[in-house]
Amino acid sequence: MARVDTAMIMAAGLGTRMRPLTENKPKPLVEVAGKNLLDHVLDKARLAQIGNIVVNVHYLPEQIEAHLAEHAVDLRVAISDERNLLMETGGGLVKAEHLIDAEPFYCLNSDAIWTDEGESDALSRLADAWNGDRMDGLLLIVPRERAFQHSGKGDFFLDDESRLIRRGYHDSAPWIYTGNQLISHRLIREAPDGPFSTNFFWDRAIAEGRLFGLVHQGDWFDIGSPQAIAPTETALAEHG
């Protein structure tokens, strides 16, 4: 169990699959169900009593900075500036690490929406399940049948101790990564230079037996294209 008060939100992507909605605005500011994607994530952070937020920016960064200045005044916000070079997910973590004092800390994507079921929200469940002696990363995963608007074949298997195993050469795997994880600074040690994917860190942690998964109890909606918005809004309205 951990007390976690800090999250990094990945908001630097180009949003190419979301065009034409992202021709004049960054993807995190695209609206779904009356609220933009960034605010959906910020509200989940508030629910989990996260007060420190680091947001990386690259594409149309001034819009994201202006939005945070107006709509996140209750949070302590720091900007990791990738204007000059988009660092991808792994490189983005490394570039922002000096802004993150907490151990462990959340890393959250801004391109999905999720609903919570049960007595605790998903981010708090990650904190409750954290064991720093055994884990360098704890990923929130969801079964494929509750990963809506997602067309992937699955990302992971789970072993009997909830360690993650890559799909590898299998045609499919039962678990989808939700874009939300709780990680230690140990995960991002000895990083390559320049832009690279978080997969570099995950593969090393898997080999060391220190990457785990926690099954999300609600639904998850992948907002990867404009076509995903309407069915997601319908489902959210039905969920209430």
Give the CATH number of the domain where residue 123 resides.
Answer: 3.90.550.10
Rounded to an integer, the average pLDDT of 24-28 is 96
What is the band of 185 on the pLDDT scale with cuts at 50, 70, 90?
Answer: very high
134: in domain: yes
Is the pLDDT at 69 greater than 80? The verdict is: yes
161: in domain: yes
Is the pLDDT at 120 greater than 90? The verdict is: no
141: in domain: yes
- What does the pLDDT read at residue 240? 64
- What does the pLDDT read at residue 151? 87
Is the pLDDT at 53 greater than 70? The verdict is: yes
- What does the pLDDT read at residue 2? 73
What is the band of 3 on the pLDDT scale with cuts at 50, 70, 90?
Answer: confident
What is the band of 101 on the pLDDT scale with cuts at 50, 70, 90?
Answer: very high
1: in domain: no
Is the pLDDT at 117 greater than 90? The verdict is: no
156: in domain: yes
- List the domain range (segments joined by +) for residue 90: 6-239
213: in domain: yes
132: in domain: yes
- What does the pLDDT read at residue 152? 86
Rounded to an integer, the average pLDDT of 36-43 is 97
Residue 181: CB atoms within 10 Å: 26
Percentage of residues of the chain with pLDDT beyond 90: 93
- What does the pLDDT read at residue 45? 97
Domain count, the chain: 1
- What does the pLDDT read at residue 13? 92
CB hemisphere CA count around 44 (13 angstroms) = 27
Residue 114, SS3 per DSSP: strand
Residues 71, 145: Cα–Cα separation, whole Å: 34
Closest Cα to residue 22, out of 110, 91, 96, 104?
A: 110
Residues 113, 171: Cα–Cα separation, whole Å: 26
43: in domain: yes
Among 115-124, 150-159, 201-210, the range scoring the smallest mean pLDDT is 115-124
Q: DSSP character for 227?
A: G
Is the pLDDT at 183 greater than 90? The verdict is: yes
